[in-house]
Structures are given as structure tokens and as C-alpha cells.
């Protein structure tokens, strides 16, 4: 499979395939955010649903990126379709987007493979997974200011990891997160609520169901803002919140923990900038998915 090109397999369904129309949509969402509210992001957390649901929310994260500083974009997405006990890199050379192809950083892939902790996705797995692809058009649009040939991407499929494995992969990624030439994109939606998701946690003290969902998500988001990996793991164990990117988030928090343990004196700040829900649930038969956007600054 090396040398293959991954198709934009969700274009035309999860987002529009026409580059002019897609570009206009992304630009509108980015412009609606206004000026960046923080220093240039070293990492962002953003959703991966269809753009009609979460495109505007994702714009809050992508607006925090300064493409002039970024040479390499790591994209960590959860596996929705295959059982994966670790992490996997792409075997492709390029990822297609409606705008232009994004080049995979083969040198970094080889470094990661040498750790013995990564496998290679099949092309079918690669193209079936939406958690990485849904970030590609935004990456392409924002990074175009740097020049299409002047940056690479490192897609990482993250499997179902326990906190110890998240910490292990975090230690591997710590040196890359510490490098100011790198940007990390952490792909995650938040609470998937409803009988079809087999999750109907409801705290009536919060008000209506959608208010309970929001309170539960904000509890998790507040913990993520503390950058405390163990506290986030405890929150997930206690409430079982169906945050589909919990393992990529866990790997990211593991990397932050590893950086702190090395005592490099970094100042770190993560802040959530936007939150939305696909539907305001008011009855038990309803369902919704939550979306959030965050930016991580490292100085």
C-alpha cells in the first residue's frame, strides 16, 4: 500500500465536494469567530461530525492556528470501525481533499514505527474512518497560507486504550508536542446521548435533558482544561460519558504529563472556546451528539 493516495471518501456526503462552495463555508465559519482569542495554538480539540452539525464549532479551534509557525500537523482520531489495541499510522503518501492533496510525513511515520508500538492501517480502514478525514479540509484551508508544499501531516488512528497505554503513547508524542514546528489536532465529539447510543444519563437537578448533557460535558471539559490525565480518566470511569475521542484526548494529556515530568518549565494553557449540540434533547426518545472546540497554548 505505500505510495497509495487516500480518497476523500466522505466528500459529497459529510461535507460538500465542490472546492469553491466548501471554501466559502469554511471561510464564513472562521470569519465568524473573529480574531484569535489566545496565542497561537500548539494543539486543538475539534469535532468530526458532518459539517452541517459541527462546522461552525470547529471554526473556533481552527481560528487559533498560525500557519506561519506550523510545519507538521499531527491528527489523532479515534477508531470507529475496527478493533485496535494501540495506534496506527497511514500507509499512504497523500490524503486527498477537495482543495489539494496533503502529503504524509513518511520520516515521522518511520520514527514512530521504530518504537514497535504502531501498526499500519489498511487502505480500507484508512478510507472508512471519518474521525481524521473530517479535519482535512479545515487543515488544508488554514494551512494554505503557509504554502501547499510547505507542510506535512501525520494521521494517527487511536484505538481503545487503557489509561496506562494512553500515558505510554503520550510519552512517545511528548517530544513532538514540545516542538514548536508541530501542531496537534485532537479529533473528538463529546456526549452521544440517547437509546441508540446506549447512553441516557440524566441528572434531573440540572433541568431538561439537554441541560443535564451540557452539565456533564462541561464537567469533563473543565477537567480537560486542568490537563490532569488521571482526573479525566476518573471522570470517564465515574460517568461513562460517551466522548468518542476520549482516547486521543487521553494520549494528548499523557503527552502533557510527560512534558511536565521532564521539568522543561513550559507554561501550558488549554481553554474551550465553543460548545454545541446537534439537538436539544427534551424527551427520552430523543438523541443528540455534543461538539466542543478547544485550543492548547504552550510557551
pLDDT of residue 265: 74
pLDDT of residue 3: 57
Torsion over CA of 159, 164, 166 and 169, rounded to 10 degrees? Answer: -100
Distance in angstroms between the alpha carbons of the first and the last residue of the chain: 39
pLDDT of residue 2: 47
Longest alpha-carbon distance in the chain: 55
Check: CATH 3.40.50.740 for 5-298? no
Alpha-carbon distance 228 to 221, whole Å? 11
Edge-first strand order for the sheet with 102-103 is: 5-6, 94-95, 102-103
- Alpha carbons within 13 angstroms on the beta-carbon side of residue 132 total 34
pLDDT of residue 226: 98
Residue spans of the domains in the chain: they are 5-298
Q: Are 90 and 158 in contact (CB under 8 A)?
A: no
| Number of residues in the chain | 299
pTM to 2 decimals?
0.96
Tens digit of pLDDT at every position of the chain (299 positions): 445 999 999 999 999 999 999 999 999 999 999 998 778 999 999 999 999 999 999 999 999 999 999 999 999 999 998 989 999 999 999 999 999 999 999 999 999 999 999 999 999 999 999 999 999 999 999 999 999 999 999 999 999 999 999 999 999 999 999 999 999 999 999 999 999 999 999 999 999 999 999 999 999 999 999 999 999 999 999 999 999 999 999 999 999 999 998 876 789 999 999 999 999 999 999 999 999 999 999 97
Phi and psi at 254, nearest 5°, equal -65, -40
Torsion sign over Cα 92, 97, 100, 103: negative
Amino acid at each position: 500500500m505505500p505510495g497509495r493516495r487516500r480518497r476523500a471518501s466522505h466528500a459529497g456526503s459529510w461535507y460538500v465536494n465542490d472546492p469553491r462552495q466548501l471554501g466559502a463555508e469554511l471561510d464564513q465559519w472562521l470569519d465568524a469567530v473573529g480574531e484569535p482569542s489566545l496565542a497561537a495554538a500548539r494543539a486543538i480539540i475539534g469535532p468530526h461530525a458532518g459539517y452541517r452539525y459541527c462546522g461552525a464549532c470547529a471554526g473556533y479551534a481552527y481560528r487559533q492556528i498560525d500557519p506561519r509557525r506550523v510545519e507538521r500537523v499531527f491528527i489523532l482520531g479515534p477508531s470507529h470501525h475496527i478493533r485496535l489495541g494501540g495506534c496506527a499510522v497511514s500507509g499512504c503518501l497523500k490524503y486527498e481533499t477537495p482543495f489539494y492533496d496533503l502529503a504524509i510525513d513518511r520520516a515521522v511515520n518511520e520514527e514512530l514505527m521504530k518504537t514497535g508500538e504502531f501498526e499500519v492501517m489498511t487502505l480500507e480502514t484508512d478510507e472508512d474512518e471519518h474521525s481524521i478525514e473530517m479535519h482535512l479540509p479545515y487543515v488544508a484551508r488554514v494551512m494554505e497560507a503557509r504554502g501547499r508544499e510547505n507542510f506535512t501531516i501525520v494521521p494517527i488512528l487511536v484505538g481503545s486504550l487503557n489509561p496506562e497505554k494512553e500515558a505510554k503513547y503520550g510519552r512517545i508524542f511528548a517530544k513532538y508536542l514540545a516542538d514548536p514546528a508541530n501542531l496537534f489536532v485532537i479529533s473528538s465529539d463529546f456526549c452521544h446521548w440517547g437509546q441508540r447510543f446506549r447512553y441516557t444519563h440524566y441528572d434531573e437537578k440540572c433541568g431538561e435533558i439537554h441541560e443535564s448533557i451540557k452539565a456533564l460535558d462541561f464537567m469533563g471539559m473543565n477537567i480537560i482544561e486542568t490537563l490532569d490525565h488521571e482526573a479525566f480518566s476518573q471522570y470517564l470511569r465515574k460517568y461513562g460519558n460517551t466522548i468518542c475521542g476520549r482516547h486521543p484526548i487521553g494520549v494528548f494529556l499523557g503527552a502533557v504529563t510527560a512534558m511536565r515530568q521532564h521539568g522543561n518549565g513550559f507554561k501550558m494553557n488549554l481553554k474551550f472556546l465553543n460548545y454545541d449540540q446537534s439537538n436539544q434533547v427534551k424527551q427520552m426518545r430523543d438523541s443528540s451528539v455534543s461538539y466542543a472546540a478547544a485550543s492548547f497554548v504552550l510557551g
